Amino acid sequence: MLKHIFKRLLLLIPTLFGVITLVFFMIALAPGDPARVMLGERANAQQLEQLREELGLDKPLIQQYGLYLSRIVRLDLGKSITSGQQIKDEISERFPATIELAIWAMIFASTIGIIVGVTSARKRNSWIDYTAMGGSLVGVSMPVFWLGLVLIMIFSVWLDLLPTGGRMNVRYYFQPITNFYILDGIILWIREGNSQYLVSAFQHLILPTIALGTIPLAIIARTTRSSMLEVLQQDYIKTARSAGIKERRVVFRYALKNALLPVITIIGLQFGLLLSGAILTETVFSWPGIGKWIYVAIGARDYPAVQGGIIFISVFFVLINLVVDILYSVINPKIRMQ
């Protein structure tokens, strides 16, 4: 098992290296002079020269690449042009917001998706099944940002039930502790006996969670259903039934654990995709996460920030896939033993 993980980690290195290289050259080889693009038409020659030097653009490409790699190895992503801050710091400040949203969206999508999928499979070809599968097809066909806007329109504007964006009621004097606001809310509730932070954090999470979680929910439901249908036909399910195991237990223990194997892979993949899908959702909900930050950086042509942000998300994506792979082998005894 440990050996398996170690092997996967080793295999990761060339992939990460490739990802970094690809991002670097895509941006470096982009048409136009980055310094000119960043500073705009009216910048004078001296300003341009200074920025070039600052970014190392005056050196040959290969040398730039070497420098970039050596900095990345030291986990240094450089400075943002617009804010002048370390990109590393900017990312670590915003990443919790993105992760928090992604985790809740995934919890939402997985629980409901699995329940819907299992129910659909058990009631195959009933109206429940047709509705659920029709619904998931609509779910994957929807633009996320549009869903977000429609949710805001209904629940914030018309019904005035939930906030339109942000993470916390701006009128509260709130000092983040962990930057995971639900967690912070719980801590503050325990520490100060005031639950308003938790409630507000929760209210702010609901709509973005639904918007971001809908596509994965639909995909998970579809995967669970087809996987469950296949498992329910297996001989070992007949064996369990023939031994008098109650139908509920057959479905939720004997079949589900097998059916979840492919679902876990999908969940992991979707989690990684959520991080990049966040760029749309975060923009709609003014969610101060890394997606919105990259969006702003693109608008400002802050190339080092875009580069850093994208490398960060891609590395995270790769790592998530690794975790999923390991998790998969933990529940699949056939792989675990090897």
Partner 1 sequence: MSEGKHTGDDVLVSIENLNFNFNIQRGIVKAVRDLSVTIKKGETLTLVGESGCGKSVTAHAINQLNPMPPGVVESGKIYFRDKDLLTLPKSQIEALRGTQISMIFQEPMTALNPVFTIGSQIADVYRTHQRISKKEALAKAVELLDLVKIPSPDERIHNYPHQLSGGMRQRAMIAMALASPEPGLMIADEPTTALDVTIQAQILDLLNDLKKTVGMSILLITHDMGVVSEMADRVVVMYAGRKVEEADVFSLFEEPKHPYTLGLLNSLPSNPKYRGAKRLEAIDGTVPDLLTIGEGCPFANRCGFVKDKCLKEFPEETKISDDHFVWCHHLQQQEGRV
Partner 2 sequence: MEQELLEIKEPTPLQETWYNLKKNKGAMTGLVIIVLFVLMAIFAPLLAPHDPVEQVIELRKTPPFTGGYILGTDDLGRDMLSRLIYGARISMSIGVVSVGISLVLGLIIGVVSAYFGGILDKIIMRIIDIMLAFPYILLTIVIVAILGPSLVNAMVAIGISQVPRYARLVRASVLAEKENDYVLAERALGAGNMELMFKTILPNCLSATIVQSTLGVGEAILSSAGLSFLGLGAQPPTPEWGLMIASSKEFITNAWWIVTLPGIAILLAVLGFNLLGDGLRDILDPKMRS
- Tell me 86's DSSP state: B
> By CB under 8 A, which span of 55-63, 79-87, 116-124, 139-147 interacts with partner 2?
139-147
Q: Where are the beta strands (DSSP E) in 148-276?
A: none
By CB under 8 A, tell whether 318 contacts partner 2.
yes
Q: Which of 273, 300, 326, 327 binds partner 2 (CB under 8 A)?
A: 273
Length of the chain: 338
Cβ density class 72-108: b for 16+ within 10 Å, e for less: beeeebbbbbbeeeebeebbeebbbbbbbbbebbbeb
DSSP secondary structure letters along 108-150: HHHHHHHHHHHHHHHTTTSHHHHHHHHHHHHHHTS-HHHHHHH
Least separation in angstroms between CB 79 and partner 2: 19
By CB under 8 A, tell whether 66 contacts partner 2.
no
Which 3 state secondary structure label does DSSP give 79?
Answer: strand
- For partner 2, give the closer residue by CB, 181 or 271: 271
- For partner 2, give the closer residue by CB, 144 or 168: 144
Q: Which of 12, 245, 296, 322 binds partner 1 (CB under 8 A)?
A: 245
By CB under 8 A, tell whether 42 contacts partner 1.
no
- For partner 2, give the closer residue by CB, 144 or 198: 144
By CB under 8 A, tell whether 69 contacts partner 2.
no
- The backbone torsions φ and ψ at residue 86, rounded to the nearest 5 degrees and listed phi first, read -60, 130
By CB under 8 A, tell whether 241 contacts partner 1.
yes
Interface with partner 2 in residues 216-255 (CB under 8 A)? 223, 226
By CB under 8 A, tell whether 234 contacts partner 1.
yes
- φ/ψ region of 44 (left if φ > 0, alpha if ψ in -120 to 50, else beta) reads beta
Geometric angle at alpha carbon 43, from 42 and 49, rounded to 5°: 155
Least separation in angstroms between CB 245 and partner 2: 28
What x/- string results for residues 287 through 316 when contact with partner 2 is judged by CB under 8 A?
Answer: -------xx--xx------x---x--xx--
By CB under 8 A, tell whether 276 contacts partner 2.
yes
- For partner 1, give the closer residue by CB, 7 or 246: 246
- For partner 1, give the closer residue by CB, 17 or 236: 236
Beta bridge partners of 86: 79
By CB under 8 A, tell whether 99 contacts partner 2.
no
Tell me which of partner 2, partner 1, none is bound by residue 46, counting a contact when its beta carbon lies within the kind-specific cut-off of 5 to 8 angstroms: none
Measure the CA–CA gap between 168 and 165, rounded to whole angstroms.
Answer: 9
Element (H, E) at 290: helix 290-299
Measure the CA–CA gap between 15 and 107, rounded to whole angstroms.
Answer: 28
> By CB under 8 A, which span of 9-17, 178-186, 193-201, 326-334 interacts with partner 1?
326-334
Which residue in the block uniquely carries the two structure tokens 């986990």?
75
Element (H, E) at 53: helix 45-55
Measure the CA–CA gap between 60 and 274, rounded to whole angstroms.
Answer: 37
Measure the CA–CA gap between 112 and 99, rounded to whole angstroms.
Answer: 20
Q: Which residues bind partner 1 (CB under 8 A)?
A: 233-236, 238-247, 249, 254, 257-258, 261, 331-334, 337
Q: Which residues bind partner 2 (CB under 8 A)?
A: 14-15, 18-19, 22-23, 26-27, 30-31, 137-138, 140-147, 149-150, 152-153, 157, 223, 226, 262, 272-273, 275-277, 279-280, 283-284, 294-295, 298-299, 306, 310, 313-314, 317-318, 321
